[in-house]
Structure 1
Amino acid sequence: MDTENKEHDDEVETGHPVDLTTIQQAETILAISFLNSYKIFLQHFGWLGMGGGAGICGMFPDQVNTPGDVVCFTKYLRDDINLPHHFIALEFEEGDLVLCIDCSQFNQETQEAPIYFFDPDRKSTNKLNNSFKDYLIEYLAAGLS
């Protein structure tokens, strides 16, 4: 496989697939289980960027807890802004909001958890989407339109 990032339509950039062992190491470090849809995302793309702007934080092959990955980003935010431990941090949004997966609301039936904005100043949340899978589809559709 090509070792450079893949670019599609000059809009979407992805990383490289991450193996399950590396994903499990990340789960252990963060003491949280990733959603199946997020694991599939990591196994196919590693991470995702759109048009040079913000993207969806992920991982790099055979590396855990390195600058720019979801482990390092989530740990940093846990220390810096007291991000609750049941959140997986995906990206910063406008106004210092943090886009997160809320793993405390894992739905056994759908095997998903909702996506929230976490406001570190107010220590409040605002629900954005019912699942990572649905968020990813909307993210890609908005970026490519």
Structure 2
Amino acid sequence: MAAAVLASRVRVHGSLPHADTLALIRSADLLLHHAVTSPQDGDTEGQPLAILEAMAAGLPVIATRHAGIPEAVIDGVHGRLVAEQDVADMAAALLDLAASPLERRRLGLAARAAIEERHSHDVARRILLQLLGLTQTSNDERVGSR
């Protein structure tokens, strides 16, 4: 019976065009992402783009403390973090946020702000100019050592 209830509420979409994926993200209430370290070779996922895209869409994230995820998602600020393989803690975080639209909104707004602060085009441009030894001035002039 539990499997039937779950099947009626969970959809696995498989591979989709990026625009369709973004539309699904925008229609969601939160992102649940349970990344784990491979027991075979210790491989990790790094910082999943799905998490950054969800945050950019203003979604709170429930994820594992895995690889680079805690650098993007601060527990209690942008979402919730749980230990890898801790299904009970992840389920508890999911139930907690499912029951609290105001908390989801607070976390989602903070997630969106973090992405704008760290990953916007302006931030990327400024970092690139710094790496190239250039500085940005008014009227979009670039001055620096070449």
Give the TM-score category using the shorter length: under 0.3
After TM superposition, the score normalised by the length of structure 1 is 0.24
Relative to its length, the structure with more strand (as a share) is 1
The structure whose Rg is larger is: 2
- Identify the structure with the greater helix proportion: 2
